[in-house]
């Protein structure tokens, strides 16, 4: 409201700096004001996995006395996330925590931000270029895929055919899950026939259609591995529509509210839950260490747990359930 006085003060300040040949400007960015600015861009802002991560990151930032601005893609798409990155880059934040939706396509934008001085912390997903990011924090997705394969094979009695349905090729996390799943099946479960991987572009309706088509073509289908939450939801819907609920075993990643419900009603059999809260918390800590020029951990792996109907009510398991809001 005090526009005239503020303008005069700023002008006076800049005049003094000009006379003294100072190199810093009056109205500098966050580092100039002594406050750290953190931005976070998640993969899909409505996804409980990323909601849980974002809530934990905001809580940690508040605890550390810094402000974190949270944003995210409306859908898993490069064309949707890239403009968000460009908008954040224009703010010149001290650090950006990001879950890139593609391992290669977003590298130029992130490299440019990094070159301009923003510390990049990759949370959950990564980019292929190892020079991008001061820290990478995620689950051991390959190990999680192997864990899902072991559980599914046991439920299938080590026989029949199985299929993986996932998001799309080129996503580092889900690619690693598929790799781990396939390696475990081929190495230790020869009685199970693996069908070609299908991709649903993160659309539950597509996954529902794909599982129904697969059932029609392969009556011996005994197991399905869902690469992410939306895929799991679609598979659940498709199996219910086909009357195969409980007959075709399903292992899925994550522990979102809908998946927990599906586990209770028997549509899903195993959930490999990650720890998105820990990813968010450690992401903030690593970003602040990088800003303060302290030692930063380049790679951090977080805990995973297999949730079944038998253990889902145990307190040490329920803590891994994802949230739909802060």
**pLDDT given at position 33:** 42
Q: Considering its fold, how many domains does the chain have in total? A: 2
- Do 191 and 124 lie in one domain? The reply is no
Together in a domain, 167 and 48: no
Range list of H helices, 199-247: 204-217, 229-241
Domain containing residue 228: 141-274+311-315
Q: Flag whether 218 is in a domain.
A: yes
56 contact partners, CB below 8 Å, separation of at least 6: 276, 277, 278, 279, 280, 281
Are β-strands 270-273 and 221-226 bridged in parallel, bridged antiparallel, or unpaired?
unpaired
Domain holding 185: CATH number? 3.40.50.2300
pLDDT in the model for residue 34: 62
Report pTM. Answer: 0.75
Q: In this structure, is residue 20 part of a structural domain?
A: no
- Are residues 158 and 131 part of one domain? no
Same structural domain, 65 and 211: no
Profile the chain (326 residues) by mean pLDDT over runs of 10 residues: 36 38 36 75 93 97 96 92 96 97 93 96 94 95 93 93 94 91 97 96 94 95 93 92 91 91 89 95 98 96 89 94 92
Cα distance between residue 158 and residue 154, in whole Å: 6
Dump pLDDT digits (tens) for 116-166. Answer: 999 999 999 999 999 999 999 999 999 999 999 999 999 999 999 999 999
Residue 230 has a pLDDT of 87
């Amino acid at each position: 409201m005090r526009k005239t006085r503020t303008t005069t003060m700023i002008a006076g300040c800049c005049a003094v700096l000009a006379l003294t040949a100072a190199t810093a400007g009056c109205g500098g960015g966050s580092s100039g004001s002594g406050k750290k600015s953190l931005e976070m861009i998640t993969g899909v802002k409505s996804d409980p996995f990323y909601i849980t991560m974002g809530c934990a990151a905001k809580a940690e930032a508040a605890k550390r006395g810094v402000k974190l601005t949270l944003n995210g893609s409306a859908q898993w798409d490069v064309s949707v996330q890239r403009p968000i990155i460009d908008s954040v880059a224009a703010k010149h934040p001290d650090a950006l925590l990001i879950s890139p939706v593609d391992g290669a396509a977003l590298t130029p934008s992130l490299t440019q931000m990094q070159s301009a001085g923003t510390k990049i912390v990759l949370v959950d997903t990564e980019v292929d270029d190892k020079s991008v990011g001061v820290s990478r924090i995620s689950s051991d997705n390959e190990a999680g895929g192997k864990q899902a394969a072991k559980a599914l094979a046991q439920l299938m009695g080590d026989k029949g055919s199985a299929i993986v349905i996932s998001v799309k090729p080129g996503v580092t996390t889900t690619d690693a899950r598929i790799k781990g799943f396939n390696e475990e099946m081929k190495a230790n479960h020869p009685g199970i026939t693996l069908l070609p991987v299908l991709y649903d572009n993160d659309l539950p309706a597509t996954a529902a259609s794909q599982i129904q088509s697969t059932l029609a073509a392969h009556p011996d289908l005994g197991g399905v591995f869902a690469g992410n939450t939306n895929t799991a939801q679609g598979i659940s819907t498709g199996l219910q529509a086909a009357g195969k609920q409980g007959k075709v075993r399903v292992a899925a990643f994550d522990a979102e509210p809908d998946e927990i419900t599906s586990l209770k009603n028997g549509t899903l059999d195993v959930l490999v839950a990650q720890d998105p809260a820990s990813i968010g918390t450690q992401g903030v800590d690593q970003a602040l260490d990088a800003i303060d020029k302290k030692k930063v951990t380049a790679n951090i792996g977080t805990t995973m747990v297999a949730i079944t109907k038998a253990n889902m009510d145990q307190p040490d398991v329920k803590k891994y359930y994802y949230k739909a809001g802060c």
